[in-house]
Amino acid sequence: MFTGLITDVGEVVERSPGRFKLRTAYALKPEDTGLSICCDGVCLTATAIVPIPTGAEFTVDVSNETTAKSTLGGWKPGHRVNLERSLRAGDELGGHIVSGHVDGVAKIISITPDGDSKRFLLQAPEHLSRYIAPKGSVALDGTSLTVNEVAETRFGVNLIPHTLTVTTWGAKTPGDLVNLEVDVFARYVARLMEFRP
């Protein structure tokens, strides 16, 4: 379980079929192998860890299902990745509950300056748009964000300067694809509504 508050921006250093190696500033040790790390919103298991002077390099295995539902198929060495370690009992829940189970991919339509912040307009897959509501929560590339407005399959979010600086969002451009996880509560409410008499 995660909060959507990014705590490091890592980098892909190697790619092989079904496997990536990433570099992080996290001080991971080999005995931490098996822990979950949210990588651009996707919960992945660190299957091998090698400490380095600036942090660690860790390997993750990726299934065909994960690649098909996310942006991971486009990852190459040098790609920057939003990272978050999993919650521990007693940790502050400052964002919203994020499972790391990406529902699909959204596309950035436009980016508009708004003072020091930036407004992003995104296109969601049609089957996921019903779960996105104004003032609700979404996780985009692992980042917990509040939805400003919704119009059919398009929705807007606002990113403050801090978020633009400490995540990969400051480098995003129109046309970029991002991993989308809808709010877990919206998903269950919609499911329950299907069974109303």
Report the candidate in 77, 193, 181, 71 with the shortest Cα–Cα distance to residue 137.
Answer: 181
Residue 113 confidence (pLDDT): 97
The structural architecture, per CATH, of the domain 8-85 is: Beta Barrel (2.40)
Residue 184 confidence (pLDDT): 79
Residue 126 confidence (pLDDT): 95
Going residue by residue through the chain (197 aa), what tens digit of pLDDT does each one get?
A: 899 999 999 999 999 999 999 999 999 999 999 999 999 999 999 999 999 999 999 999 999 999 999 999 999 999 999 999 998 776 777 778 899 999 999 999 999 999 999 999 999 999 999 999 999 999 999 999 999 999 999 999 999 999 999 999 999 999 999 999 998 777 767 767 777 66
CATH code reported for the domain at 104-193? 2.40.30.20
**What is the dihedral angle through the alpha carbons of 175, 176, 182, 183, rounded to the nearest 10 degrees?**
-110
Residue 185 confidence (pLDDT): 74
104-193: same fold as 8-85?
yes
Conformational region of residue 169, where left means phi above 0, alpha means psi within -120 to 50, and beta covers everything else: alpha
Distance, in Å, from the CA atom of 41 to the CA atom of 93, rounded to the nearest integer, reads 16
Sorted by where each begins, the domain ranges of the chain are: 8-85, 104-193
